[in-house]
Amino acid sequence: MKENTYSDMDQPAYRTAYLIAGYIRGTITEKEHDELDDWVNESDNNMRLFEELTDEKNLEANLVWMDKVQTEQSYQALQQSGAFKNQTKRFKINPVWIAAASVILLAGVFFIFKNAGNRQANKNEMAKTDNTQLKPGGNRATLTFADGSTIDLAAAKNGLMKNENGADIIKLGDGILLYDPHSADESPSSIHTLSTPVGGQFQITLPDGTKVWLNAATTLKYPSRFTSNERKVEIDGEAYFEVTKNEQQPFKVVLSDSSVVTVLGTHFNVMSYNNELEKQVTLLEGSVTVTKNDDAKQLEPGTQATIQHNAIIKKTGIDTEEITGWKNGLFVFHDTPIETIMSQIERWYDAKVVFKGEIKQQFNATILRSEPLSKLLHLLELNGYVHFKIENKIIYVLP
């Protein structure tokens, strides 16, 4: 098929119109789809405009208009050239949308400039629909010492907070904690606990230099100094580890179900929530061994150990971008079931989720975790497969 001449136009309005037309026809490439996603996520106005342009009723109206400005011969020529070829599997669009796609190149420009003067009004309207009770999470955590005393890290000032059992505990900045051990100190080590609430996250550098990112509703237990022949920590929740290499002192992560991850130096993600059916260890760099009772699996980069009951299943070809997106401040969904999506939303926005029907479709989206809940839910609603209603901190999920 001949490439659409609008595809490389510099004018932003025509470029956006071309991308939306490609979305409706199903001819859009992966790179172009990412570009369109970026444009949709850029502002509330863009998101609303995209919904307006891809709404079936609007497209039917555009078809009527197209009949007035386009002859039957030119429409047939477009059909014969393959302009309305069948879409890819990624998009499931009503046939009437495909017929209307050609008019988007003109109607899209009209709508874009028509709405440009209404941006402030749109923003105010979106603000009214925002649910003020459900805010995105942030850098919040509590540090608990062996004697039971605690520090609220969100309220603590930056700088040295405490000297505890041979280590200086320093808050470097918003959401970052550092342990600086005294090499010559012979005082005994003690167990400390770093806990994030629902809607919280935090980063810590352990006494050996290992960096750990904690996701929401996560607890990490670790010694104030690593003094034995192994470095052992315990995790309940989700965390991303960048382990400092030390062949003489292996690093071990004990999961909430007593599974053990053993490493020398590597990057990996652990998902070990008690309310999830399975635990997951996903390796990005290096090598790890996952052990459960008498079963053991060694992982290579891009593989995952899924632990359910007493069995460990090794999986290959893992989408590590989706699994670690949270660490980079993103929700990343690649053909993701709505149940998995809502579990993440539940923990990050401190909400309760209730399903009011079965939704079999899978979803694709990359959304900032800092976005208001209302905007995130609107983006998920764009494909028409799911709808949401919020009442008293409860998100109702409807087909």
Other Cβ atoms closer than 10 A to 41: 18
CATH code linked to domain 329-398: 3.55.50.30
| List of residues 6+ apart from 179 with CB closer than 8 A | 167, 168, 169, 170, 204, 205, 206, 207, 224
Intrachain domains 138-322 and 329-398 with the same fold: no
Rounded Cα distance between 95 and 78, Å, is: 16
With 0-12 CB in 10 A as exposed, 13-18 as middle and 19+ as buried, what is 255?
Answer: buried
- Domain borders along the chain are 5-129, 138-322, 329-398
Q: What is the pLDDT along the chain (399 residues), one digit of tens a residue?
A: 444 443 444 456 667 777 777 777 667 787 888 888 888 887 767 777 777 667 665 555 555 544 444 444 444 544 554 544 444 334 444 444 444 444 454 444 444 444 444 444 443 333 334 445 688 999 999 999 998 999 999 999 999 988 876 788 999 988 999 998 876 566 677 899 999 999 999 999 999 999 999 999 999 999 988 888 889 999 999 999 999 998 889 999 999 888 899 997 899 999 999 888 899 999 999 999 999 888 899 999 999 999 987 889 999 989 999 999 999 999 999 989 999 999 999 999 999 999 998 898 888 888 899 989 988 998 888 878 889 999 888 999 998
Cα torsion 90, 92, 93, 98: sign: positive
The predicted pLDDT at position 300 comes to: 92
Mean pLDDT across the chain? 79
Q: Looking at residue 61, what is its pLDDT? A: 54
The CATH class given to the 138-322 domain equals: mainly beta
- Residue 207: predicted pLDDT: 92
pLDDT for the residue 11 = 58
* Predicted local distance difference test score (pLDDT) of residue 183: 62
Q: What is the pLDDT of residues 141-167, one digit of tens each?
A: 999 999 899 999 999 999 998 887 678
- For the stretch 179-236, pLDDT in tens is 988 765 666 778 999 999 999 999 999 999 999 999 999 999 999 888 888 899 999 9
pTM to 2 decimal places: 0.68
pLDDT of residue 47: 78
CA atoms within 13 A on the CB side of 323: 23
pLDDT of residue 257: 86
Q: Would you say 271 and 214 are in contact if contact means Cβ atoms under 8 Å apart? A: no
Residue-level pLDDT at 273: 92
Q: Give the separation between CA 362 and CA 341, rounded to whole angstroms.
A: 10
22: closest CA among 75, 74, 76, 98? 98
